[in-house]
Amino acid sequence: MILEEATPSTDQELNPWHAAEIRFDEAAERLGLDDGLRKILRSPATEITVHIPVQLDDGRLEVFTGYRVQHSIARGPAKGGIRFAPDVTLDEVRALASWMTWKCAVVNIPFGGAKGGVVCDPSVLSQGELERITRRYTAELIDFIGPERDVPAPDMNTNEQTMAWIMDTYSMHKRSTVTAVVTGKPFQLGGSRGRREATGRGCMIVALQALRKFGLEPNETRVVIQGFGNVGGMAAKLMARAGFKIVCVIEVDGAVYNPHGLDIPALMAHRAETGSILDFKEAENLPREEALYLDCDILLPAAKENVITSHNADRIRAKILCEGANGPTTAAADRILEERKIFVVPDILANAGGVTVSYFEWVQDREGFFWNEQLVNGRLEEIMVNSFRDVVAYAEKHGVNNRTAAYMLALDRVAFAIKLRGIYA
Ligand code: GLU
């Protein structure tokens, strides 16, 4: 085995591309993947960097850097979100693109993987400025995206409105309305029922499956959720509705805790009113770090990368770690969690509900025929439950942890597609 020894929580440990490579190498090694395929799959197929000039509201011109990385198109069009954040890096986008390839393969939907990012701080930009950034970024990528090529979707700090702008810009260039160029659109523009809740719903479905392994019922399950945005907020709402006790929610400015379970709709209303989850009635404020180490049954990180590292993995007291975010755990932390026998539902499985319903949206757009919410949710549940069972059965059969099993399953599927297609020369 040629596993690189991860150094403790250095810049390298916190580089998502490094984490992606370590997990890839481990799965490839265990699968005995041949060298050529390993070379193909290890690096992204296409990386695009654009520098986009945008006029700000005060008249000044600013140039923003944007990326789109297409990791693989072996199993279908590249697929993955676009994030807007001040700290986006090419390595981060690379890692996220590769995770999309593996995610789509784990749930067996016919897509490859991609990711995009624009280095900008949405908190200081107006709607008009965000729209101009989005449209110019789309225009620069016009020859690289498309329903059969690469299909973007929302990610951090992008939403249905962003997707509507991308769809419109692309359509203006193509001279016809092309709804299937992006997913996560507003319902009125070809979006799918259930897409907004899909990632959170997928987390709940796999969490329910994981509970069975421990013989626990939802109403005796204490859940700590880190992040209260699209993924964490929806997961909290749906899980509370299903009877789980959401004992703690952690956000950037602190956490709120109630051992009997928080009233999630009321917490959402409180945040909408005050701008923060803190000082919520019938709950205690807690510092973020302390909250992450609470004794609980399920910990659901649903925000950013690198929340669980070699520095704090030994303090996590959850039985189940259900990764709603992409890359919340570093590769060095994996080993500690494994030693401590924490049951991990890895990101490429746990948060795959979003891209699964994106697939449904793309299918509906191309057919021009739309499904009701019940059908969407039923099909999502079937895919998530089957994928969970596949991964856990694979892990048990091969004596590896769930993350390695998910990567092995995914790599095997993508490698098989490449072998069948052959190499065009
Ligand atoms: N950004 C989401 C993810 O990381 C969704 C991607 C998609 O729907 O294409 O899975």
DSSP string, 44-79: -SEEEEEEEEEE-TTS-EEEEEEEEEEEE-TTSSEE
Q: How far is the CA of 153 from the centre of ligand 1 (A)?
A: 6
Alpha-helical (H) ranges within 191-284 are 198-213, 230-241, 264-274
Q: Measuring CA to CA, which residue among 330, 386, 322 is closest to residue 348? A: 322
How far is the C-alpha of 277 from the C-alpha of 267, rounded, in Å?
7
Q: Is the CB of 81 under 6 A from ligand 1?
A: yes
Q: Measuring CA to CA, which residue among 249, 400, 309, 362 is closest to residue 10? A: 309
Q: How far is CA 45 from CA 118, 176, 362, in A?
A: 20, 29, 23
Atom of ligand 1 nearest to the CA of 183: 8
**Is 376 within the bounds of a domain?**
no
Q: How far is the CA of 100 from the centre of ligand 1 (A)?
A: 7
| DSSP codes joined into one string, 245-259 | EEEEEEETTEEEE-T
Q: Measuring CA to CA, which residue among 155, 108, 163, 110 is closest to residue 137? A: 163
Cβ burial of 40 (10 Å; 0-12, 13-18, 19+) is middle
> Across-strand partners of 223?
246, 298
Strands 150-154 and 245-251: unpaired
**Is 163 within the bounds of a domain?**
yes
Low-confidence residues of the chain, pLDDT below 70? 1-9
What's the length of the chain? Answer: 425
**Is 129 within the bounds of a domain?**
yes
Residue 116 contacts residue 152 (beta carbons within 8 Å): yes
Say whether 116 sits in a helix, a strand or coil: strand
State phi, psi for 197 to the nearest 5 degrees: -90, -10
Strands 61-72 and 46-55: antiparallel
How far is the C-alpha of 19 from the C-alpha of 36, rounded, in Å?
21
**Is 65 within the bounds of a domain?**
yes
Q: Measuring CA to CA, which residue among 228, 198, 179 is closest to residue 362? A: 179
The residue type at 295: D
**Is 386 within the bounds of a domain?**
no
**Is 116 within the bounds of a domain?**
yes
How many structural domains does the chain have? 1
**Is 344 within the bounds of a domain?**
no
Q: What is the largest CA-CA distance in the chain?
A: 66
> Across-strand partners of 257?
248, 284
Residue 77: give the domain boundaries.
44-177
Show contacts of 271-275: CB within 8 Å, 24+ apart. 271/228
> How far is C-alpha 53 from the chain's CA centre?
29
**Residue 90's CATH number:** 3.40.50.10860
**Is 209 within the bounds of a domain?**
no
For tokens 């695009």, name the residue: 48
pLDDT at 292: 97
Q: How far is the CA of 354 from the centre of ligand 1 (A)?
A: 6
- Who's near 247: CB < 8 A, 6+ residues apart? 222, 223, 224, 257, 258, 259, 260, 261, 262, 294, 296
How far is the C-alpha of 342 from the C-alpha of 353, rounded, in Å?
22
pLDDT at 5: 40
> How far is C-alpha 154 from the chain's CA centre?
10
How far is the C-alpha of 24 from the C-alpha of 39, rounded, in Å?
11
Q: Is the CB of 178 under 6 A from ligand 1?
A: no
Q: Is the CB of 117 under 6 A from ligand 1?
A: no
Tokens of 278: 């803190």
Beta strands in 3-162 (DSSP E): 46-55, 61-72, 78-85, 113-119, 150-154
Q: Is the CB of 152 under 6 A from ligand 1?
A: no
For tokens 């609470």, name the residue: 294
109, 167, 199: residue to mutate for ligand 1 pocket, most atoms within 8 A of CB: 199
Asked if 174 is an active-site residue, the reply is no
Say whether 329 sits in a helix, a strand or coil: strand
Q: Is the CB of 326 under 6 A from ligand 1?
A: yes
Tokens of 21: 């490579």
Q: Is the CB of 358 under 6 A from ligand 1?
A: yes
Residue 275 contacts residue 252 (beta carbons within 8 Å): no
